[in-house]
Amino acid sequence: MPMEHVDGEDKGKIVLFALSTCQWCRKTRLLLEELKVDFSYIYVDLLEGEERSEIIEEVKKYNPQLSFPTLVLDDGDVIVGFNEEGIREALA
């Protein structure tokens, strides 16, 4: 899986499913960087073929509406959209 990784404080496995063209996804990524947590992210719009289908099915498991950003936290919590307060609280 072509995940990008950002080093930071270990708060468990954090994965951000995002679009490269979306400003709310960008804000979410920047917030995670600001919070200095360890996380991985993937731009789903840049994927092709089987890889794309696989990731889409994975995102739909967490968020059936397939909207972005979809942030999956270690404890299985899912935060959909740029919910700054929710993300800060969850990773405090």
3-class secondary structure, 55:
helix
> Is 27 or 36 the residue whose CB approaches other proteins more closely?
27
Q: How far apart are CA 9 and CA 34, in angstroms?
A: 11
> Is 3 or 46 the residue whose CB approaches other proteins more closely?
46
Are 20 and 45 within 8 A, CB to CB?
Answer: yes
What is the β-pairing status of strands 39-43 and 15-18?
parallel
90 binds other proteins (CB under 8 A): no
- Kindly tell me the sign of the dihedral angle through the C-alpha atoms of 45, 50, 56, 62: negative
Q: Which member of 7, 34, 49, 64 binds other proteins (CB under 8 A)?
A: 64
> Is 37 or 69 the residue whose CB approaches other proteins more closely?
69
Q: What are the backbone angles phi and psi of residue 51, rounded to the nearest 5°? A: -60, -45
Q: Which member of 16, 32, 37, 44 binds other proteins (CB under 8 A)?
A: 44
Q: Which member of 11, 68, 72, 73 binds other proteins (CB under 8 A)?
A: 68
Residues within the interface to other proteins (CB under 8 A): 19, 21-27, 44-45, 56, 60, 64-68, 80-83
